[in-house]
Chain A
């Protein structure tokens, strides 16, 4: 499966992950956090308590966690997209801050001016996205460029979907990053659909990573449901970047298992396709592997999973107990100084 979806030519064989048992446990923990964050948010949506769009990342756990886990969270920087909640957790995301921001309650870092996954936590080196997908790719490149001017290598990890990959700013940013050998890693999460538009109406190339050749950078396409493969591929990209070899473009093949957001019934997705990808569920397949390798028992994982969900729900409940932000916040901070 893995080797079939890897791009031919650039990397001959699957890189070995070299992960210890503790690291694999940690990776599974982050994946479960992403998965149960989703469970909790979907529950909230069904209860009519969610505010704004709920963008499920179901099926994307391996990409978010595996890629971010390859970075040095004390030196590198994360520019996540709205379905990359797993990467937030790898970078030490505070759960209460996350929920307060998502639900736009008092105490949110964004003061209620914005919500969902858009927020920034500079202390944890997380800079959220804007809804105009693609717009933050040049910004991520510029963040690393600043350190490049200081003689420091800071890898920027950022993401785009198969839909957003068609935005012009992505092209400009990749070309610019290649010319200036900026340590940028762009993961194109090809989850088959841009809202309701299938791949066939989005692009005509075989693999989105083929574009890397045109930019003069490394590119590969991999199975985005295999967390250790994502990790190992990203780790190589990080090492290239640290050697001064510039940016990498990694296409991860996944499936968006829910609608664009929860209001969308995604009836345009053939059932068979969902069934096919369901068998490759990144969390379930990793659990099987972890259990088979004797890293954790099934019971331990079940307990971890239940505790994780309980944590998510408790954090949501705490956030919902908070009041809405004071109305006057809407009139503040348009500028840093007037």
Chain B
């Protein structure tokens, strides 16, 4: 099953199971969504549960918040995650403060395609996850594999807090894998060691996990055994699994596709420095995108985004520190 099919499978599973789950977004009904994630949903669930909304991200997210305050569990599709900026106030100001201020749950998943590498231009390529990790009160999920995408989606829909769920559009049809049928839950806040190694750890999420795995294959021929940790969720953040890996290898590279400055990698590096400094044999390095909007032309885009080769170079430097 592809990464995209796994996400659809999870949502279909939850909509069949729980009448409180409904979807709202742009072009998600008869059209099936810009990426066809909701293809067939309108036929199965009807227009009351698959709501095509005007291009009004604030109204879409805001009405989902209101519905969740009234006992529903909405799933909101952003056509591209870049457009969440138009509903940012709703997510951050309203959804993210409600549990703290009112003690009331806002069970809502805002999901959609994010990330670059597909010639999307500056407005269809953004990796915006760090904004929400910084916002307080928002859970942030970034799956890298089909089984995780399904399990994390089901966990997100059942969660009582607002979740922003970043699907990497470059992985949608490229990444396939075994996905358990029916009920499959991956709890939020549990990192996964996706490749065990002894010389250096790469802490990554989303598309950067696949870059790290490609780097690990290449480095293995040089005798470097890379450990790859997929944190899977930024909030909650499973720092213990990260520290375990640091204690094991003593060398750490943090990698994400989002831009470097104030990215979540900085948070990971700081926590390692705070708690696991004495296990380090080298400074914590970061590989991330250059601090620019994601450019359009392939030459520019490939240059600014991280990739397996950049990870390999950094790992070699770390291992010879």
List chain A positions with a Cβ less than 8 A from chain B. 109-111, 113-114, 118-120, 122, 127, 130, 132, 135-147, 149, 154, 156, 168-169, 172-173, 175-176, 179-180, 333-338
* Contact (Cβ within 8 A) A146 B189: no
Query: Once bound together, how far apart are the Cα atoms of A138 and B91, in whole Å?
Result: 12
* Contact (Cβ within 8 A) B100 A113: yes
- Residues of the B chain whose Cβ atoms lie less than 8 Å from the Cβ of A111: 103
* Contact (Cβ within 8 A) B66 A113: no
Say how far B95's CB is from chain A's closest CB, in angstroms. 9
Closest 7 CB pairs of A and B: A142-B66, A138-B62, A142-B63, A172-B59, A146-B70, A172-B56, A146-B67
* Contact (Cβ within 8 A) A176 B104: no
- Residues of the B chain whose Cβ atoms lie less than 8 Å from the Cβ of A113: 100-101
* Contact (Cβ within 8 A) B189 A338: yes
List chain B positions with a Cβ less than 8 A from chain A. 22, 48-49, 51, 53-54, 56-72, 89-90, 93-94, 97, 99-105, 136-137, 139, 159-161, 189, 236
> Could you show 9 A-B contacts with beta carbons less than 8 Å apart?
A109-B103, A120-B101, A130-B97, A135-B94, A138-B66, A146-B66, A146-B67, A175-B56, A334-B136
Say how far B73's CB is from chain A's closest CB, in angstroms. 10
* Contact (Cβ within 8 A) B102 A141: no
* Contact (Cβ within 8 A) B58 A168: yes
Query: Once bound together, how far apart are the Cα atoms of A120 and B100, in whole Å?
Result: 12
Query: Once bound together, how far apart are the Cα atoms of A180 and B47, in whole Å?
Result: 11
Query: Once bound together, how far apart are the Cα atoms of A109 and B49, in whole Å?
Result: 33
Query: Once bound together, how far apart are the Cα atoms of A156 and B63, in whole Å?
Result: 12
Q: A132-B89, A172-B58, A334-B137 are in contact. Are A145 and B63 (CB under 8 A)?
A: yes
* Contact (Cβ within 8 A) A335 B99: yes
Known pairs A143-B67, A147-B70, A336-B105 / 20 extra A-B pairs, C-beta < 8 Å: A118-B101, A120-B104, A122-B104, A127-B69, A132-B89, A138-B59, A138-B65, A139-B62, A139-B63, A141-B62, A143-B66, A145-B66, A146-B71, A176-B53, A176-B63, A179-B54, A334-B99, A334-B100, A335-B139, A337-B160
* Contact (Cβ within 8 A) B56 A176: yes
* Contact (Cβ within 8 A) B161 A114: no
Query: Once bound together, how far apart are the Cα atoms of A175 and B63, in whole Å?
Result: 12
- Residues of the B chain whose Cβ atoms lie less than 8 Å from the Cβ of A173: 58-59, 62-63
- Residues of the A chain whose Cβ atoms lie less than 8 Å from the Cβ of B161: 335-337
Query: Once bound together, how far apart are the Cα atoms of A145 and B72, in whole Å?
Result: 10
- Residues of the A chain whose Cβ atoms lie less than 8 Å from the Cβ of B100: 113, 333-334
Residue of B nearest to A129 (CB): B94
Say how far A162's CB is from chain B's closest CB, in angstroms. 20
* Contact (Cβ within 8 A) B62 A135: yes
* Contact (Cβ within 8 A) B160 A336: yes
- Residues of the B chain whose Cβ atoms lie less than 8 Å from the Cβ of A135: 58, 62, 89-90, 93-94
Residue of B nearest to A136 (CB): B94
- Residues of the B chain whose Cβ atoms lie less than 8 Å from the Cβ of A120: 101-102, 104
Query: Once bound together, how far apart are the Cα atoms of A156 and B159, in whole Å?
Result: 26
Q: A333-B103, A337-B161 are in contact. Are A137 and B62 (CB under 8 A)?
A: yes
A135, A156, A336 — most chain B CB neighbours (10 Å): A336
Say how far B100's CB is from chain A's closest CB, in angstroms. 5
- Residues of the B chain whose Cβ atoms lie less than 8 Å from the Cβ of A337: 159-161
Residue of A nearest to B66 (CB): A142
Residue of A nearest to B57 (CB): A172
Query: Once bound together, how far apart are the Cα atoms of A50 and B227, in whole Å?
Result: 58
- Which of B53, B54, B69 contacts A143 (CB under 8 A)? B69
Query: Once bound together, how far apart are the Cα atoms of A119 and B68, in whole Å?
Result: 17
Say how far A169's CB is from chain B's closest CB, in angstroms. 5
Query: Once bound together, how far apart are the Cα atoms of A156 and B69, in whole Å?
Result: 13
Query: Once bound together, how far apart are the Cα atoms of A168 and B102, in whole Å?
Result: 25
* Contact (Cβ within 8 A) B54 A119: no
- Residues of the A chain whose Cβ atoms lie less than 8 Å from the Cβ of B189: 338
* Contact (Cβ within 8 A) B65 A142: yes
Say how far B59's CB is from chain A's closest CB, in angstroms. 4
Say how far A111's CB is from chain B's closest CB, in angstroms. 8
Q: A138-B62, A336-B99, A338-B236 are in contact. Are A145 and B94 (CB under 8 A)?
A: no
Query: Once bound together, how far apart are the Cα atoms of A176 and B66, in whole Å?
Result: 13
- Residues of the A chain whose Cβ atoms lie less than 8 Å from the Cβ of B49: 149
- Residues of the A chain whose Cβ atoms lie less than 8 Å from the Cβ of B159: 337
* Contact (Cβ within 8 A) B58 A169: yes
B58, B72, B104 — most chain A CB neighbours (10 Å): B58
Residue of B nearest to A173 (CB): B59
Say how far A246's CB is from chain B's closest CB, in angstroms. 14
Query: Once bound together, how far apart are the Cα atoms of A113 and B101, in whole Å?
Result: 6
